[in-house]
A and B are shown apart, each in its own frame.
Chain A
Amino acid sequence: MEASTFDQVLAKFKYPLSKPSRSWWLLMGAMLVLVAFGLVALIQQIVHGHIVTGMRDHVVWGVFIVNFIFFLGIGYSGAILAGIFHLTRLKWTKPIHRIVELFALAGLCVGPIFIFLCIGRLDRIFYIFTYARIQSPITWDVMAIMTNLIFIGTYLYIAHIRDFAKLRDTDVVELPGWKKKLYAKLALGYEGRPRQVEHLNRAQNILAATIIPTAILADSLLAWLFGMSLRPGWHSTLFAPEFILVAIFSGVALLIVMMWIYRRQYQLKDLFTDQHFYYLGYALLLLSIGFAYFTFSEYITEWYNVSETHGRWLDKFVDFGEFGIMSLLTIFLAIVVPLIVLIVPRFRTPASITLVSVLVLIGLWLKRYLIIVPTLETPYVPIQDMRMEYLHYQATWVEWALTLAGLALGVIIIMLLNTLAPVVPVADMEHDDEIVVPKPFYETIK
């Protein structure tokens, strides 16, 4: 492809690279309002204690831990996908590398916030380091999250260097002086000399090969946080693989959604082609089948011969007064809808695949809720309590406000990164001259 083509691509990102557009500011403002609202809720929680949440002695963790798993899942799957995309050298994935890296970082930054929200004494949080006990899965998780943040942060930076160099040299987009200087610093003197290219490639290969196993391990640790407790529904050897599958499932869904948003925002139809949606749609289909398999395997083995406590737990999934509706909804959103829409060719369009992805994301959030709350509501010793809120968990406005704030924070992180580098790794694609942007040959399939 001609170099000028890439300049044209770069030019599409004039806003927010040169300066944020009005719509950028509007969205940013909205997100900041949500974060502020979350801060109000947080102050309530700090001043009055956790009594302002719906958590009580049995359901000691609620929506916060659901978000924790959800966002970390997004982060880890972003890391896994980034590693896989880079190492397999799948040409068609080149334009979407950056998106994956973006949500990997955002997920890993937002996720841990929610574990802090579960902590009753934030004033003592540094005890986690000063009195760290290696036996505790929480300590493992702290280490895993920090390791991943460092690796992903470094990988992200390395993957940006070529773009920084390009932005330093380009006059396609007008950049303010301070930004030019910033890029000059960030590019570390990269000029595309053969030795530099070789070093950069090697570094990226090594990091890509490292972040896949570290992310898989970290997500497994997250699963073991629960799997190692002697509780029905948690104490399962399947937990870690299931967590990883569910995480990648949510990552691919988010990738599709972001692709769709960026494609509309920057008119990137020839970079994020329809074909991209179909390919990722197939991946989504496979993951949905895998998810169905895990779900079926989990319930059938529990149901066929069931112990007393497990029986009480399992009954809640078919009881419409308990979690029946939610579990049906999860199966519908994350299994039935994807299967129907993605298998029948007539239903398969970029828009429908995106819609399915949104539904999958909701379904997978609900799945995490079903992992946490029913188990905590089913202790071995029956709960005999007169206080309703001790029998059934019901999230309060504080928890919802903070959930939205977390989501908004993720969006803010991504938006800020968007002002720093283009959504498509332009320089990377330019550098790799064999790069082929997939032609929209889907018409021939139809």
Chain B
Amino acid sequence: MDKEQASPRREFIKLTVVATCGTALCKCNKPAGSMESASEESTIKLLAPDGSLVEVARSQITPLPDDQLITGMAAREGIPGKRFVMVIDLAKCNNARACITACQKMHYQPEDKEWLQVKLMKDSEQGAPYWFPKTCFHCDDPPCVKVCPVDATFKRDDGLVLIDNDRCIGCKFCMAACPYSTRVFNWDEPDLPEEIAMCTSSPETSVPSQVGTVDKCDFCPDMVRQGKLPDCVTACPNGVFYFGDEVEDTVTNGVETVQLSQLLEDRSGYRYLEELGTKPRVYYLPPTDRMFPYERSLEDLSEERKAMYKDII
């Protein structure tokens, strides 16, 4: 890990290389075995971090060392100089649920475990319903971190609230304390592919899920370290999620990159349940000038699913 911190750039190139080679870079850094088999003296085109294409001999490519994974104390420190934020544009959400699926795929979660949820909300009787994607808010004053008896869930310098699944004793106090119902418990042994279940656990990947411990949205810091956006951001067909850094005052949804402060000013960004004083790191843009009428997203749903929203519609 020290090595990793010493030369983040070199690691970064390696990561990009591996990723571009098409090796599925498993969240948990499983050994990239397929790489070695292709060791003829041919070359391969790769994307360098600055965006240019380079050609590299296949033999030059080294598989990722296992210690690439940020674990232990290093995972508690955070990425230096960053303060991650997210902005969610409620005007654009039509309950496509691509974010949920992407998140589940990335974290090897079954269909019924949603770290990221999309709720149908209505603020007042006369008000119009709207779709409300909800990640972990990574609060600056997180009630869940306060109550954890063993420091399994912690707040990092870069603003993230993460869980060390090797430390969590599963007391569920954080779940009771979280006002946003963000956390998900592993009530039984998670159904994981063997190589995933075996790999080293890291708070940065939140993989693998462990029975009797708590999981939640982690803002994918492992992706960020690779210079990528969290999967929910890139998966959303409508560009609802803007992810970025408060220090740089920039957020991006993968298509457009905007100034955070300007966006919040122009669109009257707010934080959900501000009055609770938890200081979330997720901002919402009110559903003005909507791109989709909310009803349209209901049309294809089964009656069973529609019944979930009976209090709203």
Q: Write the residues of chain A forming the contact surface with B, with a CB cutoff of 8 angstroms.
A: 48-51, 55-58, 60-61, 118-121, 124-125, 127-128, 131-133, 135-139, 142, 226, 228-231, 376, 379-387
Contacts and interface: CB of A to CB of B under 8 A. Distances in A.
Contacts of B177: 229-230
B270 interface: no
Interface stretch (B34-42, B63-71, B79-87, B144-152): B144-152
B143 A386 contact: no
Nearest to A232: B179
B150 A131 contact: yes
Interface string B129-141: 0000010000000
A137 B148 CA distance: 8
B181 A57 contact: yes
A128 B184 CA distance: 21
B292 interface: no
Contacts of A136: 146-149, 173
A121 B168 contact: yes
Contacts of B189: 49
B149 A138 contact: yes
Instruction: Kindly name the residue among A48, A51, A384 whose own CB sees the greatest number of chain B CB atoms within 10 A.
Output: A384
Interface stretch (B23-31, B255-263, B304-312): B304-312
A55 B171 CA distance: 12
A379 B112 CA distance: 19
Instruction: Kindly name the residue among A138, A226, A376 whose own CB sees the greatest number of chain B CB atoms within 10 A.
Output: A138
Contacts of A57: 175, 181, 183-185
B212 A133 contact: no
A132 B150 contact: yes
B13 interface: no
Contact of B186 (A49, A229, A385): A49
Interface in B169-200: 169-173, 175-177, 179-181, 183-189
B211 interface: yes
- Interchain residue pairs A-B with the least CB separation, the first 5: A120-B170, A120-B212, A138-B149, A51-B188, A60-B172
B119 interface: yes
Contact of B188 (A49, A124, A226, A380): A49
B276 interface: yes
A127 to B, nearest CB: 4
Interface string B265-306: 000000001001010000000000000000000000000110
19 contacts: A50-B170, A57-B175, A57-B184, A57-B185, A61-B176, A120-B186, A121-B212, A121-B213, A124-B168, A124-B169, A131-B152, A136-B148, A136-B149, A137-B173, A231-B176, A380-B181, A382-B119, A383-B181, A386-B305
A175 B138 CA distance: 66
Contacts of A60: 172, 175-176, 185
Given A49-B187, A230-B143, A382-B311, A128 B179 contact: no
A228 B176 CA distance: 11
B112 A387 contact: yes
B167 interface: yes
Contact of B211 (A120, A376, A387): A120
Contact of A131 (B151, B173, B175, B278): B151
A118 B185 CA distance: 12
Contacts of B273: 380
Contacts of B46: none
Contact of A127 (B169, B181, B304): B169
B120 A229 contact: no
B119 A384 contact: yes
Contact of B149 (A120, A133, A228, A379): A133
Contacts of A61: 172, 176
A212 B305 CA distance: 54
A139 B146 CA distance: 11
A50 B177 CA distance: 19
* Chain A interface, >50% SS class: loop
A137 B147 contact: yes
B263 to A, nearest CB: 24
Contacts of A231: 176, 179
Contacts of B172: 55, 60-61, 118, 120
Contacts of A131: 149-152, 167
Nearest to B275: A307
B176 A120 contact: no
A56 B180 CA distance: 15
A384 B169 contact: no
A343 to B, nearest CB: 39
Contacts of A128: 149-150, 169
Nearest to A380: B179
A414 B147 CA distance: 34
Contacts of B185: 50, 56-57, 60, 120
A230 B188 contact: no
A230 B147 contact: no
Contacts of B188: 48-51
Contacts of A51: 187-188
A273 B178 CA distance: 52
Contact of B181 (A58, A133, A229): A58
Contact of B171 (A119, A226, A385): A119
B176 A121 contact: no
A145 to B, nearest CB: 13
Contacts of B173: 136-138
A229 B151 CA distance: 18
Contact of A125 (B121, B169, B187): B169
A64 B75 CA distance: 34
Nearest to A50: B187
Contact of B308 (A125, A135, A385): A385
A382 B310 CA distance: 11
B273 to A, nearest CB: 6
A136 B169 CA distance: 14
A382 to B, nearest CB: 6
B149 A132 contact: yes
A50 B151 contact: no
A226 B119 CA distance: 27
Interface in B79-124: 112, 117, 119-121
A133 B174 CA distance: 14
Given A136-B147, A138-B147, A384 B120 contact: yes
B172 to A, nearest CB: 4
A377 to B, nearest CB: 11
Given A57-B184, A382-B121, A383-B181, 12 more contacts: A49-B187, A50-B170, A56-B185, A124-B168, A136-B147, A136-B173, A139-B149, A230-B177, A380-B179, A380-B180, A382-B311, A384-B308
